[in-house]
Structure 1
Amino acid sequence: MEKILEAGRQETINSIEKYSRGRIAIRQDILLQEIRQTSGRARIFLHKGMDTSGYARELKETHDQLTIVQDGITANNGSGHTTRNLAVSWAILNELLLKVSQQRDVVSRHIHTMVEFIDRIDSLSADSALYTFPLDSAQVIQYFNRLKVIARELGPVDTLLRKSIASLQHLQTSYDMTIVDIRTNLEDVERFRRQQDSRIFRRDFSNLWHPPSPHRPLSEIIPMSIAKEKLALKYYLRDFRGRLILLVVLIIAAWRFLLACKKKWADEKGLDPGFKGQLVFRYPSLSAVLVVISIFQFLFLQPPFIFSFILWLISAVSLCIIFYRFISPYWMLFWTIMVALFVLAGLTNMVLEASRMERWWMFALASGGAVYCTSVLRSSKHQELREKNIRYFIVFVVLLEAASVIFNATGRYNLAKTLMVAGYSGLVIAILFIWTARLINEALVLIASIYKHPERKLFYINFERVGEKVPTYLYVFLVIGWFVLVGKNFYAFQQATTPLMEFLGTERTIGNYDFTINSLVLFVVIIGVSTLISQVISFFAAEPGDQRDRDKTARQPGVGSWLLLIRIFVLSLGLFLAFAAAGIPMDKLAIVLGALGVGIGLGLQGLVSNLVSGLIIAFEKPVNVGDIVEVNGKMGTMKSIGFRSSIINLTEGASFIIPNSDLLTNHLINWTMGNNRRRINVAISVNYGTDLKKVNTILETVLKGNDYVMHYPAPSITVVEFAAGSINIAIDFWVADIRDSWHQRSDMMSRILESFDREGIEIPLPQQEITIKK
């Protein structure tokens, strides 16, 4: 028994040992597999890698650009700080800081990923299970060979990871130092700007008639200015290229819209040779450029002067071409001179440092403009002005340019340049805005005259109340915009609006959702724009309003049948873009859709039924826009298929609005699906004794003589019955267009009657015998 018990105890120990070593072997297999997988992922990550040399080149380029920015600020400051130089440098430094911070974040994430690989490999390698060896010598040799293979695979990867981390950490340090340099320069520039603002009325230089103080040559200032302005424009276009593309798309859409309206107006009303009251139609493309840029330039937040200058110059040139031979020669000359002065003032504003030559140029430019505008105010040509409000802005130019001359002569260089540029740009912007308002109102008036079909509500404008006088509220909006654009020339205005911009851009939290007021406004704007685009598509694709146009387009396939799908796609895309732009997570959209599903279940069955029916009509196409249909005995032309209902223009002239679900469930007759053909039946009667062969020959002659009667299917002449007082004959023939059926039926009956009279065949009068019983 003792031997048996001892054997049992020994077997228990051996079994436990065997189980433990089995578990260790399994653990070793798992660890070695994870080490190899982690090593493989690290190798792939290193193979993809990051272009450290490219980042180093960009960092060097950033240092070069930082040197350009420092020129005239902390280096080569021969003539003192100027407001424009500080403003442009501040904008470039912010862009450089954003770019370098983003690149540093990329490097940091790369380092973090590689550190995670090393940490994972080290943690797996430190597991004690790896160093528990089998008891069998053969298994030990096999296990050592496995370790040797993995070590051979892991060694190079570990070395590369550590070298890459060291290299990237050095690059990260360089980025950190660059960020510190940029922030230091930003603080210096901001301090200089505050100093400039606090002593805006103080003297910057000596009087203009005094000997020049030490200053930097203009030959050095201009290349520096060009380099800085190019940098500012480059970074701004990079940041707002999406909005720039949107601006171009809006211009193209407005141009196509005005072109379509012009064509329709020319077809229906006729264009005036002098475009009196129709100036918006003279050059639709230029009108679109002027209107869209004037309104949508506010999409670009805090643009550099060079960007705004380019937009204003494009609009001004467009208005010059529109004005050519439309306004009087005197005021055309005035506008041309003011645009030229605006261009010269804008180019001068891009010279970022002061010089004696530039000060004399500013003096001549401001004084010349003040004198010329004064002569214009004193002239007797005011009656030729088409917009009388322009005179107030001419007075504005005289005051600002005169003040610029005085401040420039007395050494207030920065204030003088700001006033000079604000004067000319203020006048040009004012005229652009005034004529933008006028062109918009002209377009509304002209559309009100030609937009007669039921969809005139598409643009949410009551066309009946649109008159020839520009609405006051439109002027109010444009005046506010004018103050904003002119105020951007002054640093004090920017300082005053900074708290508002910070308020709009500050992140707020409701529950788990972070948002800004800017994002909410952008959400509403995108939804509104997508809705407007949907309505514009309806305008272009809607069935023409008069019978002549319907006849012209009825036989031509169009996009009308796809209109509902296109509008749903546009609205859905706008909804998703609005959610993305506002930063609203898609799970929130799922919650909204879930709530909508509950609403559908509770009370929107009818609405959804009509919407689904509209989709079925769009896909299955039992009827298309432009088809001739008959519903409940009423015939008309399918005008549009909407979300909830469809519109049929009845032959009586009314518009029949029918829910989409009723359109599918009712008995719908589609004449167009049968190629618009229709069979016409004409019944006639002849007396007994009439030669039926002769009658048949006459009828065949009449049918062949009518060009509207189709030869295939061939017409038929059939004796129907022997009635009480006549022989009844039925004539069946086909016409190619159902619209001609009633007219051709009448014409055919008239021809038959004429032929019977000529051949002496009588049509019996209705007779009835009455027998009276006494």
Structure 2
Amino acid sequence: MKFNSLFVIFVFSFFSAKAIGLEQQGLDTLLKVSEVVEEQTEEKEELPSLEGSIRKSQEYTIQLNRINFTLSKELDSLEIMEDFPIAERLTLVIQNRLEDTDSKISIRYLQELENLLKNIKSQISIAERKVTSRIEELVSVREQLEEIKGDGLYQLDLRDSSILPEYQNALTQLREYVQKTDSTLNGQRIYTASFQTRIARKMIRISELSESIEVELRKVEKALLSKDLNYIWEKSTYKNDSKLGTVFIESIRLNETILYRYLKNHLGLSIFFLVVFLALYFWIRNILTVIKSQKEFAKIILERAYYVPKNPLLSVLVILTPILPFFFPNPTISFMTVLLWVGVISVTILLIGRFPKGLYRNWIVFVFIFLIYTVSNLYRDINYSERWYLIFLSVIGIYLALRIVKFQKNNPDSFPSFISVLVKFYIAMQSLSILSNIFGRFTLSKILGVAATVSFTQAVALYLFVLIIMEVIYLQIELRGKGENDFTSYIDFHRIQARLKKVLFGLVGIIWVYFFFDNLSLLDIVLENGKQILTTPRTLINTTFTFGNILVFFLIVYVSSILANNVAYFATMKDQQKASARDKRLGSSILLIRLSVLSVGFLFAVGASGIGFEKIAIVLGALSLGIGFGLQTIVNNLVSGVILAFEKPIQIGDAIEVGGRSGTVKDVGIRSSKIQAYDGSEIIIPNGDLLSQHLINWTLSDKKRRVELIIGVSYNSDMELVSKILSEQIEIEEVMKNPEPRVLLQSFADSAVEFRVLFWVDNFDLWINIRNQVMRGIFRAFKENGVEIPFPQRDLNFKSFPGLLDEKIKSSAELEESKKLKEIQDGDGKDKEG
């Protein structure tokens, strides 16, 4: 009996292990089971009680039910094998294409095949994970069955007459149940192993093809600068075996199949971004609708934004198309090309009416050239009959670029500054493409022409991408205005643009460089070499680091600083909209927000870069030593800024006086604060001075202000009338009734009786205008009622004045005239004496 059991276990273990490629595991299982059986036969275990055996039998029955439920969920072969036929056909096509030596495969098509294999491998990996998960379930079931078989209850001799017949029947049923479950398990293992074997063969084949494509790519990349065609003045060395039309149709069909399969494999991601597209579109439509219906200055607001109000649907397409390739894994060339077409066509429609007609026609021709280049980029084989077409397209492209240069010289403000650099770069690349074509470097010529044209159109599309995002943000800010009659000032609009442009242009610059190297078919090489440079460990003294760690650290710190500054700026704009309610403003708490963002960014940078907090502690220790020697003032100002943020003696927007300077708080920075003086100048005051000097805050508790006027009248005036006039003039709507305005007789001065007028205004920003209104009213009322406002007068008495002839002479002109008259009189007297 023992020998038969061991033989059955051996045979089952061996063949099951062989079916799934795990012979060694089957032998290990055999040894383990045989050892258990031998131990149980050699040792005389005490038999469990009848009640315990019945309870254990019930537990095993429940456990077997669970096991059979697990086994009933068979492997979904239909779902796993659904894509296998297509994958096998595509793999066969790739294999046949690599083995075909009659035609040369283009580098872009090799990259397309490489991406296709990656996508096929990704799909098969999903099936492999499902099969592996099923195998793990079956292994767990097998371990549970072995545990049941190894129990003493299962090994009881049923021929013992001392065992009750009912109990014998229960044990018999349990053994039959175990055997049935064991048989089902064996079938499931063999069935699953067959799938695993098929998947393993497919993965091995894909790996072999990937290595072959990798070898071909390296060959083509090394031969890019080599001559692959005759010089243009020599006799042709190639055969026109296939016409361009045939190549075009075959390439379109092949890329259509690849694109369909790619989208099908990423259907969930495609649906997700379709939902994102619709949500973004309806969100923008809602913004435009609300602004048109609720904002009094809707026309002014929408005139500042050109593209989004014109066509929100195309604006959303321009936003999404440049960033979608970064979310889809291993995007194929056909997928990238379709996104390019959608983006460029959307830009072309949005530019209608934005350019002069001649320049727009120039752009239309350029887009037509772009479409030809992108279609040519999809060809699977190198077709040398394209040689003259490519030269013609390059010449036309250079001509169009020169027209753009000429237009920009005549209209220097019509284009952004980078366009001239981009146009010159395009001309240079197209010139190199023509030279490469002339000297027999056809592959290099085509790559340069495609990269130049696609990169230029992508740059224009990315520029509109920046403008449209800024317009959307601006419209959202306008939508969140505090009232229907409020809109962002023209200055704030340009400040928003200036801040966002730096960040967005930096982002699109990285995107453009990424696509440029991809168009040159050098992206993999650049990424590979860049990764090697960034990840190679380097040693400085006793410290090991990588350039990647340093780059990550500074990049995160830089991003956190940008976030901190922009959050502070937009929070300040929000405060300006709530200028009348000081308690609802963030004010100096914006400093805490900035410090929090910078601190979290710094800690995240330290953790993400792998530098280690112990090394940062060394740096901070050295920094503390520097603080002790020369950074006391800076640290004092930093701590003072934090105190200002917590105590809030000043808020952004408060009117203050400190150190003889007055103005409105514009910014509470980390080291210093900025005050906007009333004459327009900006005063930078260290935070330490704000705490150490006497600070007058006119708007700390509220914006009320008392206005004091000293009015002098003549001693001959009717004092009751004067008091009545003054009281009437301060009974205007702008003057607060509580506290009550007052008119007091102040003093008897040298030449006037002075009255003191006191009244309150509820808005500090308007007190000068209200004082002006009151004083003008007083002056007008005094004039109407004949009240004299005295002014200082002085009487001068001259005791002697040389040359004075007459007391009636009062001016220097009369004095000169009297001198001449005296000389004439003296001359007449002398004549008479003579």
After TM superposition, the score normalised by the length of structure 1 is: 0.60
Deviations 1:510-544 (A, max 9, x none): 99x99975565445434323322333344445469
What code does the residue aligned with 2:706 have?
Answer: R
- Aligned-residue offset at 1:703: 1.7
1:536 is aligned, of 544, 566, 587, to 566
Q: Does the 8 Å contact 1:541/1:563 carry over to 2?
A: yes
Which residue of 2 is the match for residue 348 of structure 1? Answer: 376
Structure 1 residues 679-688 or 289-298, which shifts more?
A: 289-298
Match of residue 222, structure 1, among 230, 252, 258: 252
Instruction: List gaps (5 residues or longer) in structure 1.
Output: 1-23, 133-139, 250-266, 408-414, 441-448, 462-475, 767-774
**Structure 1 pair 639/44, CA: closer, same or farther in 2 (3 Å)?**
farther
CA distance in 2, matches of 1:39, 1:211: 70
C-alpha offsets along residues 56-94 of structure 1, whole Å, 9 cap, x if unaligned?
A: 625532552352253254279697452233221112212
Supply the distance in 2 between the matched residues of 1:282 and 1:694 (Cα, whole angstroms): 63
* From 532, 536, 553, the counterpart of 1:503: 532
Q: CA 1:114/1:760 → structure 2, altered by over 3 Å: closer, same or farther?
A: farther
Cα 1:44–1:80 change in 2 (3 A) is: same
Which of 649, 652, 655 is matched with 2:683 structurally?
655
**Residue aligning to 1:716:** 741
Task: State the distance in 1 between where 2:748 and 2:248 align.
Answer: 112
Structure 2 residue identity aligned to 1:228: I
Q: Supply the distance in 2 between the matched residues of 1:521 and 1:243 (Cα, whole angstroms).
A: 31
Counterpart secondary structure, 1:637: strand
Mapping for residues 622-771 of structure 1, pairs under 5 Å: 624-630=651-657, 635-651=662-678, 653-659=681-687, 669=697, 671=699, 673-674=701-702, 676-683=703-710, 693-704=720-731, 706-711=732-737, 713=738, 715-717=740-742, 719=744, 730-745=756-771, 748-749=774-775, 751-752=777-778, 755-756=781-782, 759=785
Q: Aligned-pair distance for 1:115?
A: 4.5
* Secondary structure, counterpart of 2:201 in structure 1: helix
CA contact (8 A) 1:717 1:729 kept: no
Question: Contact 2:671–2:687 (CA<8 Å) still a contact in 1?
Answer: yes
Q: Distance in 2 between matches of 1:496 and 1:679?
A: 73
Does the alignment pair 1:527 with 2:557? yes
What is the correspondence of 1:252-651 to structure 2 with a 5 Å cutoff?
A: 304-306=332-334, 309=337, 333-353=361-381, 362=386, 365-369=389-393, 372=396, 383-384=406-407, 386=409, 387=420, 390=423, 393-394=426-427, 396-397=429-430, 400=433, 416=442, 419-429=445-455, 484-485=517-518, 487-488=520-521, 497=526, 500-501=529-530, 503-504=532-533, 521-542=551-572, 563-564=590-591, 566-567=593-594, 570-571=597-598, 574=601, 582=608, 584=610, 606=636, 609-610=639-640, 612-613=642-643, 616=646, 624-630=651-657, 635-651=662-678
Q: What code does the residue aligned with 2:430 have?
A: V
Amino acid at match of 1:641: V
Of residues 198, 208, 212, the one that matches 1:184 is: 208
Cα deviation code 1:649-687 (max 9, x no counterpart): 34354425353895699766352642x222223455779
Select which of 59, 78, 82 maps to 2:105.
Answer: 82
| 715 and 738 in structure 1: CA distance in 2 versus 1, 3 angstrom threshold | same
With over 3 angstroms needed to count, the CA separation of the structure-2 counterparts of 1:507 and 1:51, relative to structure 1, is farther
State which drifts further: 602-611 or 423-432: 602-611
Partner Cα separation in structure 1 for residue 311 and residue 621 of structure 2: 48
Q: CA deviation at 1:177?
A: 2.8
Separation (CA, whole Å) in 1 of partners of 2:147 and 2:615? 45
Instruction: Give 1:346 deviation, angstroms.
Output: 0.8
CA distance 1:550–1:359, shift in 2 (3 Å): same
Q: 1:165 to 1:680 in 2, by over 3 A?
A: farther
Aligned to 1:74, what secondary structure does the other structure show? Answer: helix
- SS of corresponding position for 1:708: coil
Bigger shift: 82-91 or 281-290? 281-290
Using a 3 Å threshold, how does the CA distance of structure 1 residues 189 and 222 change in structure 2: closer, same or farther? same
Q: 1:559 to 1:363 in 2, by over 3 A?
A: farther
CA distance in structure 2 between the aligned counterparts of 1:738 and 1:165, rounded to whole angstroms? 85
Percent identical pairs in the alignment equals: 18
Aligned to 1:445: none
| C-alpha distance 243-657 of structure 1, shift in aligned 2 (>3 A) | farther
Q: State the alpha-carbon separation in 2 of the partners of residues 156 and 742 from structure 1.
A: 99
Q: CA–CA distance in 2 between the matches of 1:661 and 1:248? A: 54
Tell me: CA distance 1:708–1:71, structure 2 relative to 1, closer, same or farther (3 Å).
same
- Partner Cα separation in structure 2 for residue 623 and residue 487 of structure 1: 57
What amino acid is the match of 1:716?
P
- Give the letter aligned to residue 92 of structure 1: L
Structure 2: distance between partners of 1:302 and 1:315: 20
**Is this contact kept in 1: 2:704–2:763, CA < 8 A?**
yes
Whether the 8 Å CA contact 1:349–1:417 is kept in 2: the answer is no
Q: Offset of 1:733 from its aligned partner?
A: 1.7
2:182 & 2:589 partners in 1: Cα distance? 60
Which has the higher Rg, Structure 1 or Structure 2? 2
Is the CA contact (8 Å cut-off) linking 2:433 and 2:445 kept in structure 1? Answer: yes
Q: CA deviation at 1:350?
A: 1.5
Deviation track 1:131-161 (CA, whole Å, cap 9, x = no partner) reads 99xxxxxxx9xx99xx99x999999999999
Contact residue 259 and residue 335 of structure 2 kept, 8 A: no
Q: Contact conserved, 2:727 with 2:743, CA < 8 A, in 1? A: no
Distance, in Å, in 2 between the alignment partners of 1:724 and 1:607 is: 49
Name the SS for the 2:676 alignment partner.
strand
Q: Which residue of 1 aligns with 2:83?
A: 61
| C-alpha displacement of 1:180 | 1.4
Distance 1:292 1:81 in 2: 36
1:669 maps to amino acid: N
Give the SS at the match of 1:224.
helix
The CA RMSD measured in Å over matched residues stands at 7.3
Q: Give CA deviations for 1:312-343 in whole Å, capped at 9, x if unaligned.
A: 65775677679877878666545432331221
What is the alpha-carbon distance in structure 1 between the residues aligned to residue 85 and residue 689 of structure 2?
68
Corresponding residue of 2:830 = none
For structure 2, the 5+ residue unaligned runs are: 1-47, 157-163, 231-235, 280-296, 410-419, 467-489, 503-508, 793-834
